[in-house]
Amino acid sequence: MSGFEQLERLVVVAAHPDDETLGAGLISADLAGQGWEVEVVILTRGENSHPGSPTTTAEERAAMRARESAIAARLLSPSIRLHPASFADGGLATEHDALVTTIVDIVGDGRRTLLLAPWRHDGHSDHEAAGWAAAAAAVRTGAILAEYPVWMWHWAEPEEFPYASARRWSTNATVREQKAAAIAAHRSQIAPLSSEPGDEVLLDGAFLEHFGGADEYFILDQPFDDALDRLHADDDDPWGLDDRWYEHRKAQLLLACLPRERYGRALEVGCSRGSLSTLLSRRAGRVLAVDASEHAVALARERVPSSVDVAHLRVPDEWPEDRFDLIVVSELGYFLSPVALERLWVTIAASLEPDGTVVLCHWRGEVRGWPLDGPQVHASAEKSGELPPVQARYRDDDVEILVMTREWIATDA
């Protein structure tokens, strides 16, 4: 597949043990042979593959499938690293946030990572849940997302396959033989557990025909993550901006750190429901408050004064054309991927007036489900070389504030 030349790491997400072999065995073996780092995240133990088995328990089936996946991975390449998880087989649809966190923790900074996951429309609830979780993780980490079908080959007519957005991975006979051996390692799925009713073969020869050829197909579609929008849809004030002392105290600390009494044009990036935007309007002639959540923007528009404009923008890819002498980024940086955060600094620098001020303000605690935390966000800004130097810093156990400007305004004293 073209377009992946700058990548060097493959992370394969599987809903059940064997999905990773069936849907991505060729590419895993091929790239591992080329020196890529290849990791496989198996979200369930596959214990419900034979729920009516009279000869095995769920725990025995889980242990059996774990052994089979380990053997299959070694047959594809001894360098492949497995990350088994233990979500309930058949229950992934209710575990979206936890699935995303699991995948994000493994991918981390995904700028040089290809993330393969089950297709979001594969026709199996666990596969689709794994695909949607990987799509969100791709947004948060900056990984390139591709999706592999498994059950689609069983139910879809040829004209239903999305060829326009699909890419083919082709390889040689040696790698095909590796995949065939890996598929055979999943014996509990391709052969009966016993001759008893309930122990029948699950993946018959007709089904396996789709996975024994020289090619694998992957669907390229836009990754998607609506976590913050859902958060605002479920709760008008998800962060407790109007009630929590932390939020009141942080806002007052931020305002106290501003080196100027007045600003002409201010931008708040990540305004949520507009609480800080309203306070900034008392220090600036005009404020533009932006947020990626449509629900948050709607709430902010109902609350802010007339001197505040509110816009729905997904930064850094969407950005206002104006220039500003104050840009505030508060509690937003860790909701961007590492590579998107670096683009944010470049974008801010391009729209900042020469004597303008940039203020960064972030919580210093652990952030689950995203690859960065507050201190890492601020370290990224300081290392970027794009922003003005840090002229003032406030830090306590909860919050850190950086004030970055080239021209510090002297007091009247």
pLDDT of 410 reads 56
pLDDT of 213 reads 85
Report residue 404: phi and psi, to 5°.
Answer: -120, 120
At residue 254 the predicted structure's pLDDT band, cuts being 50, 70 and 90, is very high
Beta-bridge mates of residue 230: none
pLDDT of 241 reads 80
pLDDT of 343 reads 98
pLDDT of 3 reads 64
pLDDT of 387 reads 97
Average pLDDT value for residue range 127-144:
98
pLDDT digits (tens, 9 = 90+) for 292-302: 999 999 999 99
pLDDT digits (tens, 9 = 90+) for 169-184: 999 999 999 999 999 9
Task: Write down the mean pLDDT value for the chain.
Answer: 94
At residue 413 the predicted structure's pLDDT band, cuts being 50, 70 and 90, is very low
Please say if the pLDDT value at position 96 is more than 90: yes
Average pLDDT value for residue range 152-164:
84
At residue 412 the predicted structure's pLDDT band, cuts being 50, 70 and 90, is low
For the record, the structure tokens of 111 come out as: 């700028």
pLDDT of 408 reads 74
pLDDT of 156 reads 83
Q: 177, 36 in Cβ contact below 8 A? A: no
For the record, the structure tokens of 2 come out as: 């073209």
Average pLDDT value for residue range 274-281:
96
Instruction: Please give, one letter per residue, the 3-state secondary structure of 247-276.
Output: HHHHHHHHHHHCCCCCEEEEEEECCCCCHH
